Structure 1
């Protein structure tokens, strides 16, 4: 299956999975159970193409600061702190990836340096202008998860 078809398939899968929900789930209302968040945060499908952009965006997801990703080999300065994300869509389910992106410390423990991207549990040294905000929006999370599910080996 080509990368384009995988992205279209992922978007269609999320459209079907999220169609039963109408409202965005607030960060404090997200429940991670057994390392999964089963429901879409928005009730809208994630867009893998937008998720790819968010993943690479140094001012948003900034995932490349810590992770190598061959799909974005045209981007400079891939980090090596986190595990390579090549094949991550084969290793984790969308529900597990959603939980990891939302609050990695809840999934992996406090020792992980990966931030929670949709949680208010962000620690004590937060710049005043960022207090009370999540790093990503709920839709950004769904888009990044849709993108991550397309990364197969």
Structure 2
């Protein structure tokens, strides 16, 4: 299933309140709990790779809007929730869903879907139609965020 079709299904399912199959029959977005409980890949997330993505200023770019317990990072964002607070109140499935479909939680969010280029504006030609991250990156970030739980 393509990422665009996946996002369309997710958007329609959230509007209608369905728990709709995504990507594969075993992966579902639960619109009641706002989560994607099943991992997006067969490989477990790698927290060290996830940390690099969260703090990276070339790929994940999370730190541009979020901040967290990263004393070595002097320039952290203040536009979005603090990451350890989000990690402490959300399940792995909810964290995954926030990365894949942030507009489901807040229709006016500036956070993009990291598995789709839909909704992005003024995208450089070499990145048009491409997702920001791949499914394994999402799993790596979720694994890292879970290490921030108290």
TM-score norm. by structure 2 comes to: 0.76
TM-score norm. by structure 1 comes to: 0.75
Higher relative contact order (CA 8 A, sep 6+): 1
How far off its partner does 1:130 sit?
1.0
Structure 2 partner of 1:87: 85
Structure 1 partner of 2:113: 116
Structure 1 partner of 2:30: 33
How far off its partner does 1:124 sit?
4.3
**Which residues of 2 match residues 9-28 of structure 1 at below 5 A?**
26-27=2-3, 28=5
Structure 2: 5+ residue stretches without partners: 7-21, 23-27
How far off its partner does 1:133 sit?
0.7
Structure 1: 5+ residue stretches without partners: 1-24
Determine if contact 1:90/1:152 at 8 Å carries over to the other structure.
yes
Work out the CA distance in 1 between the residues paired with 2:57 and 2:2.
Answer: 24
As a proportion of its length, which structure holds more strand? 2
**Which residues of 2 match residues 4-153 of structure 1 at below 5 A?**
26-27=2-3, 28-29=5-6, 30=22, 32-34=29-31, 35-70=34-69, 72-109=70-107, 111-153=108-150
**Count of residues paired in the alignment:** 127
